[in-house]
């Protein structure tokens, strides 16, 4: 089983016909390849294994710097004081803020790596965000495991294949490098298909596509359901 950093690096050396004393593949090179391949594999899809939650005290500011290590534009759900804020397209968010500066709708958006929260909603308390993070790994810690260990270990196999692609490219065996990268992608697509097959059974609570709102005062009463 390929679970730890040591397992991954040993497998690369064995399959690449190298020994631990190989002079052309130093420990630094192997560690760099491990980090690069792991980052590539983790970024290949929006894996459930890289979903995260982070919390901080909300300081009533409109512009929020993303949490360290989180992917850009990846926050999908945001709550402040336990109340959910809806994510909007930035252009729509900006127009809303300009047209209704005192509007208290609980909305947020993102732009240029920052998150924008409607301060007029007067949210307070703990801000909690749910989104996608980039898992960090220390390749010098040989006993460290990846986010795929003990669950989707084909992900670790994909890391090995990607590192072999780097090795073959270094040896100027470019066709073999492409084959190893293709195999890494095949493994990851297999994991993704299994995840999608499981998620297909998820049930979503029925919810309307649009919210009701008053267009004109004294207009027709749309509060009754099933009237059409």
Q: Among residues of the chain, what percentage have pLDDT more than 90? A: 67
Count of beta carbons in the 10 Å neighbourhood of residue 153: 18
pLDDT digits (tens, 9 = 90+) for 177-205: 999 999 999 999 999 999 988 876 665 55
pLDDT digits (tens, 9 = 90+) for 30-41: 999 999 999 999
The closest of 159, 139, 128 to 32, measured between CA atoms, is: 139
pLDDT digits (tens, 9 = 90+) for 4-23: 999 999 999 999 988 766 67
The predicted structure's pLDDT at residue 210: 42
The closest of 193, 146, 126 to 7, measured between CA atoms, is: 146
DSSP strands (E only) in 81-144: 83-87, 107-111, 114-117, 126-132
User: Where are the chain's structural domains?
Assistant: 5-47+138-198, 59-124
Does residue 224 carry a pLDDT above 80?
A: no
Residue 72 parent element (H or E): none
The predicted structure's pLDDT at residue 74: 86
Count of beta carbons in the 10 Å neighbourhood of residue 39: 16
Q: What mean pLDDT comes out for the span 103-123? A: 93
pLDDT digits (tens, 9 = 90+) for 91-101: 999 999 999 99
Does residue 209 carry a pLDDT above 50?
A: no
The predicted structure's pLDDT at residue 217: 42
pLDDT digits (tens, 9 = 90+) for 125-170: 999 999 998 888 999 999 999 999 988 889 999 999 999 999 999 9
For residues 213 and 127, what is the distance between their CA atoms, to the nearest angstrom?
27
pLDDT digits (tens, 9 = 90+) for 44-75: 999 999 999 999 999 889 998 888 888 878 88
């Amino acid at each position: 089983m390929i679970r730890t950093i040591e397992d991954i690096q040993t497998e690369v050396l064995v399959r690449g016909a190298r020994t631990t004393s190989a002079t052309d593949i130093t420990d630094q090179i192997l560690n760099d390849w491990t980090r690069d391949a792991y980052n590539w594999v983790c970024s290949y899809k929006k894996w459930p294994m890289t979903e995260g939650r982070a919390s901080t005290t909300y300081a009533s500011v409109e512009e929020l710097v993303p949490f360290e290590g989180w992917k850009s534009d990846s926050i999908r759900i945001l709550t402040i004081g336990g109340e959910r804020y809806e994510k909007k397209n930035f252009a729509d968010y900006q127009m809303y803020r300009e047209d209704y500066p005192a509007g208290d709708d609980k909305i947020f958006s993102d732009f240029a790596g920052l998150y924008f929260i409607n301060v007029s909603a007067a949210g307070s308390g703990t801000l909690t965000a749910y989104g996608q993070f980039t898992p960090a790994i220390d390749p010098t810690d040989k006993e460290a495991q990846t986010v795929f260990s003990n669950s989707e270990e084909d992900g670790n196999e994909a890391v090995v294949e990607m590192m072999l692609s780097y090795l073959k490219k270094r040896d100027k065996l470019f066709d073999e490098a492409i084959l190893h990268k293709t195999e890494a992608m095949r493994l990851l697509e297999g994991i993704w298909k299994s995840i999608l097959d499981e998620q297909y059974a998820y049930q979503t609570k029925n919810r309307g596509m649009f919210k009701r709102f008053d267009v004109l005062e004294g207009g027709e009463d749309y509060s009754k359901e099933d009237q059409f």
